Amino acid sequence: MSIFTKSKQKIRRRKLRKLGVETSFCKNSKLFGGDHGWVLDESKISEDSVIYSVGVGSNIDFDIALIERFNLVVHAFDPTPRSIEWVENQSITKNFKFYPLGLGGKDGTMNFFPPLRESSTHFSPIKRYDEDDRDVITAPVKSLTSIASDLGHNHIDLLKMDIEGAEYEVIDSLQTSKITIDQILVEFHHMYKGIPIERTIDAIEKLKEMGFELFNISQRTYEFSFIRKNLNL
């Protein structure tokens, strides 16, 4: 990692602290999936845990790490064509169950703008570049309530979201959802044009109001880990 990158990360972390974002201690926190993985409270995960991994892209290191450690099933979601093609071309354990479907604030469809690089799978509902009007795709999305109902779940042990800017509307929808969740891992995309960091601060406050506490922020300062307060003992 370059000195310039480290400096930018420190600046972002200081800015978060100035905006009142602090983390709680979690004694059982552990990183899964390598340097670009996710931190969770592993003591709350078991073979029977219900895991939703939303936003697969072309990296399932986190999902495979959970499967190998706990012998559990990961329900993975991504509606974008490059990700679907990538998953179809992998040799993956049967414990990785993939659905070509996106997560949104409500049932319907969502427009996704393509990344600039042809090799990238990071389609986003946010218009990041001026030339993004070309090759926009429309893909199916459902609310968390609908997805959980379809799969026969009323409780989710861990919800991971890397959904390129759609996380804000999903968090809004969770305020009225009857699905209970123990841990939420989310990448916030305030690095995108048109998404101010204040929108992330607002989302964090909403999660706190729903009974979650923040226990980890990644070194990059984009991935955030939350746990339901009464579980972080």
Across the range 25-47, mean pLDDT stands at 94
CB 194 within 8 A of CB 7: no
> What are the structure tokens assigned to 141, written together?
């999305």
Residues 25-54: what's their mean pLDDT?
Answer: 95
What is the pTM for the complete model shown? 0.93
Percent of the chain with pLDDT over 70: 94
77-101 confidence digits (pLDDT tens): 999 999 999 999 999 999 999 999 9
Contact, 33 vs 65, CB < 8 A?
A: yes
Q: What local confidence, expressed as pLDDT, does residue 226 receive? A: 97
Residue 41: the pLDDT is: 97
**165-177 tens-digit pLDDT:** 899 999 999 999 9
- Per-residue confidence (pLDDT) for residue 65, from 0 to 100: 98
- Return left, alpha or beta for 158; rule: phi > 0 is left, psi -120 to 50 is alpha, else beta: beta
Q: If one looks up domain 3-231 in CATH, what number appears?
A: 3.40.50.150
